């Protein structure tokens, strides 16, 4: 029995959609379906009823769901406690970070705040925000580093998961330049030539922020001009959207920390004026369940600032 099968089962039970659950679990849908089938074969009975509308639990699946939750929770607690015993003297530090910040912000930031020779091991887990939230809620890391906006809250209760702002960023609509060094896909688009939007998937924290801004600020330029945009590509990776934008496929709202070199070299240009920009924070969340001396030292240093 593979532990991932339990995580797959719980994701599908919650989402009721193979495609959505596979995206959350960061596997292809065929591979995800094979793992669900393998779990059902191991148990010996079907756990889901499949239909065109999605997947619903069978009576056996409904019986198994709370047992799987308890089993996974107990195994994760066992892992945390055993790891804590082994790492207590080493001072190892585990941090989950979204892909964009792992590439750009994290290396310089951690170097400013921690001496590597004082760490036993520094473990960085890079994934989508949705996957990082799951890791954090499971108590598998000490911290989560992510972009944050007040209009797009995370899954963390403030009283349980304290956080500190450690930086600032801005989402900027960018696209490739044309021969005259003007935006190839200017904002706002028109009904005759809508701007091609390179969008974030639902697993992306930046996509969550962008969607919240458009939904909650109906009088902004971004919301008013949404009708002049047509989504042509979707990914949870900002780096993928940057490459697509650089190759001329459309507009992507990219964090400036990721795109500033492309802007400086004119491989990307602003698709619209600054009124389309979205200021955001870079925030570090602390786990209430995963603690050691290295985590305490980093948190104390940040609070001192």
Q: Are 187 and 173 in contact (CB under 8 A)?
A: yes
Q: Please check whether residues 72 and 142 belong to one and the same domain.
A: no
Cis bond leading into 287, ω under 30°?
Answer: no
Tell me the CA distances in angstroms from 183 to 109, 242, 246, 268, 270, one per residue in order. 33, 15, 11, 8, 7
Of 35, 53, 84, which closes a domain? 84
Position 179 scores a pLDDT of: 92
Give 182-191 pLDDT, tens digit per residue: 999 998 877 7
Position 2 scores a pLDDT of: 81
Position 216 scores a pLDDT of: 62
- Output the average pLDDT for the chain: 86
Q: CA–CA separation, 245 vs 171, rounded Å?
A: 14
Q: Please check whether residues 22 and 106 belong to one and the same domain.
A: no
Of 68, 84, 100, which closes a domain? 84
The alpha carbon of residue 231 and the mean position of all alpha carbons in its chain are separated, in whole angstroms, by 20
Residue with the larger pLDDT of the pair 90 and 50: 50
Whether pLDDT at 223 is above 60: no
Position 116 scores a pLDDT of: 52
Q: Please check whether residues 175 and 159 belong to one and the same domain.
A: no
Q: Which of 115-124, 127-136, 153-162 has the lowest mean pLDDT?
A: 115-124
Position 87 scores a pLDDT of: 54
Domain of 29: which CATH number? 1.10.10.10
Position 178 scores a pLDDT of: 93
Q: Please check whether residues 42 and 105 belong to one and the same domain.
A: no
Domain count, the chain: 3
The runs of H, that is alpha helices, within the chain are 3-15, 18-24, 29-43, 59-87, 99-103, 105-113, 129-137, 205-216, 221-224, 238-246, 256-264, 293-304
Query: Please, which residues have CB within 8 angstroms of residue 213's CB and are 6 or more apart in sequence?
Result: 149, 151, 152, 220, 222, 223, 278
Percent of the chain surpassing pLDDT 70: 90
**pTM of the predicted model, to two decimals?**
0.68
Task: Find the mean pLDDT for residues 277-281.
Answer: 94
Position 224 scores a pLDDT of: 53
Per the structure, the complete domain to which residue 141 belongs is given by 92-166+282-304
Tell me the CA distances in angstroms from 151 to 136, 196, 198, 211, one per residue in order. 21, 25, 21, 10
pLDDT band at residue 283 using 50, 70 and 90 as cut-offs: very high
Domain of 255: which CATH number? 3.40.190.10
Tell me the CA distances in angstroms from 86 to 80, 261, 292, 295, one per residue in order. 10, 42, 11, 15
Q: Please check whether residues 241 and 267 belong to one and the same domain.
A: yes
Burial degree of 251 (CB within 10 A; 0-12, 13-18, 19+): buried
Q: Please check whether residues 172 and 260 belong to one and the same domain.
A: yes
Task: Find the mean pLDDT for residues 263-272.
Answer: 94
Nearest residue to 238 via CA among 195, 268, 194:
268
pLDDT band at residue 220 using 50, 70 and 90 as cut-offs: low
Q: Please check whether residues 162 and 295 belong to one and the same domain.
A: yes
Percent of the chain surpassing pLDDT 90: 50
Nearest residue to 96 via CA among 232, 174, 7, 205:
205
């Amino acid at each position: 029995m593979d532990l991932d099968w339990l995580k797959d089962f719980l994701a599908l039970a919650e989402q009721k959609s193979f495609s959505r659950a596979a995206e959350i679990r960061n596997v292809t849908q065929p591979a995800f379906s094979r793992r669900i089938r393998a779990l059902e074969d191991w148990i010996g009975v079907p756990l889901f009823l499949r239909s065109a509308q999605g997947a619903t639990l069978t009576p056996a699946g409904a019986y198994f769901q709370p047992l799987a939750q308890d089993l996974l929770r107990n195994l994760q607690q066992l892992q945390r406690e055993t790891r804590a015993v082994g790492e207590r003297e080493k001072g190892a530090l585990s941090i989950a970070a979204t892909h964009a910040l792992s590439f750009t912000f994290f290396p310089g930031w951690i170097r400013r705040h921690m001496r590597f020779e004082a760490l036993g091991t520094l473990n960085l887990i890079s994934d989508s925000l949705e996957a990082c939230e799951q890791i954090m809620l499971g108590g598998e890391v000490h911290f989560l580093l992510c972009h944050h906006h007040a209009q797009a809250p995370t899954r963390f209760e403030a009283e349980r998961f304290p956080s500190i702002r450690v930086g600032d960023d801005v989402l900027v609509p960018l696209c490739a330049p044309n021969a005259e060094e003007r935006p190839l896909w200017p904002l706002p688009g028109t009904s005759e030539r809508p701007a091609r939007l390179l969008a974030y998937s639902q697993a992306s924290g930046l996509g969550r922020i962008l969607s919240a801004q458009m939904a909650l600020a109906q009088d902004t330029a971004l919301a008013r001009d949404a009708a002049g945009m047509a989504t042509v590509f979707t990914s949870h990776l900002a780096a993928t959207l940057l490459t697509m934008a650089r190759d001329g496929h459309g507009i992507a709202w990219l964090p400036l920390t990721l795109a500033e070199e492309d802007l400086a070299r004119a491989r990307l240009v602003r698709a619209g004026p600054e009124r389309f920009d979205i200021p955001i924070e870079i925030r570090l969340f602390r786990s209430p369940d995963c603690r050691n001396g290295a985590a305490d030292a980093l948190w104390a240093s940040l609070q001192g600032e």
